[in-house]
Amino acid sequence: MTPMPSEEEDMKQAIRRGCAVLAGAALVVLVLTGCSTDRLVVRGASPLIERGVSAMNRETDIELARESIPANLKMLEALLLLDPDNAGFHTQAAMGFHGYALGFVEATDTERARNLYRRALDHALVALQGAGLSQSTLTGDAAALEQALAKLDARALPALFWTASAWGKWIELQLDDPARLAELPRVEALMRRALALDESYYYGGAHLFFGAYYGGRAPMFGGDFARAARHFDRAAELNRNRLLWVDVYRARYLLRQAGEREAFHATLSRVTVAPAGGDPELNLANALARQAAAELLAREEELF
């Protein structure tokens, strides 16, 4: 049936209005897509980044890892230029810079290692702020910091752990600076919260931290050798003795400070001949631990 003239005009107007609405909607979609394309690209890269980290953890060739890690870190920072508030990538960058400094730089260039730990800390602080702990709270009143930490749940655990880890190592390489030493109680507070949230996180890493924290200082300066030993023992128990860095840290911090040279030598000697474990994700970490153990043994006369 053919529409009457008035009906035909009404139909045309309705079509025009519909087209206008669709055109407006399309414009909004285009604008929004243009604004979010960078972030969509970055977030689409997340699975690749995670698999890249896993592949690096499984690496057994230390030199290949040494040459590869810097490029991976710069790729992460390039992605963060596109999505600067991406807490997950900031956490990965913090972990990467921390691990690179510890495994490849600190033993030969402490100044460069200090700068790399600072970069790790800067990334971790962004992630920590995204988890709900602002910079002003972190550096402000100690009681307010404790209250804020108590409100954080397991979602904040990675940011807490890597902030404390990077901050602690950054301070360790500046022990002659009173301003840095004054920050240690805040680092301890962050790691205590991480420990309370999940003591098994990162192979019992919080226990490893406190083993070094209490073992690396003489008792008159706040050290506690018995407490350090308990933390090292618990870290080893949680990771079922798979992470060789526990014994490297035990020797480097506790046994050396306590003057137990025979135990120092025996512990590190076991690490140097330890076979590759059953966890491929620890291949690189354990290869670096064996290397660190050999380097410490070569300095035994100097250290004692």
Q: Domain boundaries in the chain?
A: 44-196, 199-304
Contact 277, 286 (CB under 8 A): yes
DSSP output for 22-48: HHHHHHHHHHHHHHHHHHHHHHHTHHH
Give the pTM: 0.85
What is the reported pLDDT for 16?
46
pLDDT given for residue 13 in this prediction: 52
User: What are the CA-CA distances from residue 2 to residues 6, 7, 151 (Å)?
Assistant: 12, 10, 70
* DSSP-derived secondary structure letter, 282: G
Q: What is the CATH number of domain 44-196?
A: 1.25.40.920
| Alpha helical stretches, state H, the chain | 5-44, 46-57, 62-82, 87-100, 110-130, 135-139, 142-151, 157-172, 178-181, 184-197, 201-215, 225-238, 245-249, 256-257, 261-272, 283-298, 300-303
Judge whether 42 and 79 are in contact, CB under 8 Å. Answer: yes
Q: Report the share of the chain in percent with pLDDT over 90.
A: 80
- Rg, the chain, Cα only: 26
Q: Tell me, what's the pLDDT at 296?
A: 98
pLDDT in tens, 187-198: 999 999 999 999
pLDDT of 49 reads: 80
Please report the pLDDT score of residue 243 as a whole number. Answer: 96
- Do 195 and 210 form a contact (C-beta atoms < 8 A)? yes
d(CA 186, CA 13): 68
- pLDDT beneath 50, residues of the chain: 1-8, 11-12, 14-35
Judged on CB neighbours under 10 Å (0-12, 13-18, 19+), 119 is buried
Q: What are phi and psi of 260, to 5 degrees?
A: -95, 80
pLDDT per residue over 2-55, tens digit each? 344 444 455 445 434 444 433 333 323 323 334 467 666 666 667 778 888 899
What pLDDT does 52 receive?
85
